[in-house]
Each structure stands twice: as structure tokens, then as C-alpha cells.
Amino acid sequence: GESVGLHLPTLSVQEGDNSIINCAYSNSASDYFIWYKQESGKGPQFIIDIRSNMDKRQGQRVTVLLNKTVKHLSLQIAATQPGDSAVYFCAEKTTGGGNKLTFGTGTQLKVEL
């Protein structure tokens, strides 16, 4: 079946370094992707999104890259801060599937001081 997954369950980075969180998807019909951040005991918080007609989108300290050829999505966080420690989820939406999102299992980002 179709799935959304992540390469690494846990990522540890030093404060100030750049972080890269990866996500693989298998549904070639997916046309909209979102990254969410979830802190412990809280609901997911929207970070950034990208449509399939783009390959890069930048926000404040974050960049999402989309490689449709290999069905790969990444979230880059510049100058990682302790407050960035959280679980990061990618989610995909497929054309014709309404706004129902399929979520990956998440990557735990740990920022070391």
C-alpha cells in the first residue's frame, strides 16, 4: 500500500548546526506536502508546506525541498536552537483524496547544547 515514512527515527544535532530531516513517500499522485512540529504533550504545529509544482520553499530558518523523481522530501532547519527539539512529521495529500493527510511516523530531533 501507499505509505509515508522517515529515514531516521532520531536525529541529534549540536546547537547552532543545521538540521536535515528526511521523508520518503511512495504515492506518486501526492501533490501537497506539509511539515509539522510536535512538542511533548502538545498537538502538531504547522511549519511549512509545499505543492508538487515546486521543488523548494523557504520560511523563517526552515527550507523544504521536494524531489519528485525519487519521491523524497526534506526539512532543513538553519542554526538549530534548543527550542527546535521536538518530533517532526511529514504529511502528504493526494489529489482526489480531499484534505485527508497521510502522516509519517515522525523523527525526534534532539538539540545538544
Partner 1 sequence: DGGITQSPKYLFRKEGQNVTLSCEQNLNHDAMYWYRQDPGQGLRLIYYSQIVNDFQKGDIAEGYSVSREKKESFPLTVTSAQKNPTAFYLCASSRQVSSYNSPLHFGNGTRLTVT
Identify which of 71, 70, 67, 74 has the alpha carbon closest to the alpha carbon of residue 22: 74
Cross-sheet strand order for the sheet of 62-67: 4-5, 19-25, 72-77, 62-67, 56-58
Biggest distance spanned by C-alpha atoms of the chain:
45
In angstroms, give the least distance from the CB of 50 to partner 1. Answer: 10
Q: Does 101 bind partner 1 (CB under 8 A)?
A: yes
| Number of residues written out for the chain | 113
Q: Per CB under 8 A, which of residues 45..64 are in contact with partner 1?
A: 45-46, 49, 51
In angstroms, give the least distance from the CB of 32 to partner 1. Answer: 6
Number of chain residues interacting with partner 1 (CB under 8 A): 23
Which chain residues interact with partner 1 by CB under 8 A?
A: 4, 32, 34, 36, 41-46, 49, 51, 89, 91, 98-106
